[in-house]
Amino acid sequence: MLIYLRVLKESFAFAVNALRNNKLRTFLSLLGVTIGIFSIIGVLAAVDSLEKEIKGSLSSLDNSTIYLTRRSFGPTQVPRWKREQFPDVTYDEFQNINKSLNGVEAMSFILFVGPESVKGGENTVSNVNVNPVTDDYYDVEELQVVKGRFFNEQESVAGTPVIVIGDEIANSLYGQQDPIGQRLRLYGQKFTVIGVLKKEGSGLFGDSKDTAVFIPVNMARRIFGDNNKASLPGIIIKPVDDVDNAKFIAELKQKFRTLRGLKPDEVDNFFVNQLQGFTDAIDSIASTMSAIGAAIGAFSLLVGGFGIANIMFVSVKERTNLIGIQKALGAKKKFILLQFLFEAIILAVIGGLIGLLFVWLISKGASQLTGDFEFILSSSNMFWGMFFSTIIGLIAGIIPAWMASKLDPVEAIRTGM
């Protein structure tokens, strides 16, 4: 064991000397490994960060959450002209489904509407995400109210002009004042603030609840009407945890088809969109991006491997005389082999460490510049980066090391002279 440690120590010394004595050559050789590791780990870190941010934005909703609307959230085989003829989901359909569907933890009727401006006192906030919903939406999305409360069933059914606002809206309109009980103007109507949501931070797509408000859907229905194309009605359903997902969706579709009087040979004139499909699509895109990035980085790493192989061939050539002397003094083939293998691996590891350092520095700098978006350099990515570096060094050094171990002592000393 001590002999191997000694060989490792000597190999490290040889590698350091090679770095010192041939700075330009070594720099060019290590550059390929550095760029390769930087490419692979950089892409993996960026994909992981993006995936975490997207899923974090969706974390308040369970993957099993279902959206029932006349529009599809993803690709569909239904022609566009046919989709445009689909009727809107109605409030009466929501009430019927809410009473008859089994396995439901929470269900809410919602109107998807465009952003609006809200005014409170002398202050106005633009581009506010307005969410007209029923009271059960609080349980569907597991909202967190830090001041006041969410509106109740009675206020929801009656369409009472009350409103729950996000943290940023509260600060922009009222500053240090207590927003509870304050009046603000939305859609030309006055609403009473009854709740403030917990601060969430900015979302990846700018859809943070800090800039959102929630009002009773029946209040919005009076404003928009039930046939206004500026709004998209829908039903959001959160099934219970242990429900059979396929059976639940099948039962939902059957009940809705029955409500609409669809015949067995007629296609659904509505879409059941599940959040799980969206997260699966995110995972698929992330995997594809990771694979493409890894392939690009692998080519760079391969170039780095050729660079290390080149420097190892040169090292063998330069140290032919020394190899001959070592073998003449009794050094075995495996020690010569290990000596050059260790040197190749050390050179590759140094290149990998430099690549990881660059990724870490850039990720820290990017996180500081972007504020709420955090770039992640996970320990698993760091491990795989160093693993691939080591493998490249091993592969690049095996042939030069094997050639060095096979040198005849007499010929090596003569050639070196």
- Block means of pLDDT (10 residues each) for the chain, 417 residues, are 68 66 71 76 74 60 78 81 88 91 92 91 89 93 90 94 93 89 92 92 63 93 81 91 86 91 89 71 66 70 75 72 68 71 79 83 74 68 80 81 72 60
Q: Which of 411, 416, 409, 403 is nearest to 328 (CA)?
A: 409
Q: Is 170 within 8 Å of 194 (Cβ atoms)?
A: no
- Mark out the alpha helices in 237-378 (DSSP H runs): 245-259, 275-318, 320-328, 333-370
Indicate the DSSP class of residue 211.
G
The answer to whether the beta carbons of residues 37 and 360 sit under 8 Å apart is no
Say whether 279 sits in a helix, a strand or coil: helix
Residue type present at position 357? L
72: which 2 tokens?
């599809």
Inter-residue contact 55 to 281 (CB < 8 Å)? no
Q: In the prediction, which pLDDT does 210 show?
A: 86
- Which contiguous run of DSSP H or E holds residue 117? strand 116-120
What residue spans of 58-150 are helical by DSSP H?
A: 80-83, 91-100, 137-140
The pLDDT, as a whole number, for residue 161 is: 94
> What count of other Cβ atoms lies within 10 Å of the Cβ of residue 316?
23
* pLDDT at residue number 358: 84
- What confidence score (pLDDT) does residue 137 get? 93
3 state DSSP class of 323: helix
Show the tokens assigned to 56.
Answer: 């974090």
pLDDT score, position 205: 46
- pTM of the shown model: 0.62
DSSP string, 128-191: EEEEEE-TTHHHHTT--EEEE----HHHHHHT-SEEEE-HHHHHHHHTTS--TT-EEEETTEEE
Give the CB-side neighbour count of residue 76, counting CA atoms within 13 A.
Answer: 18
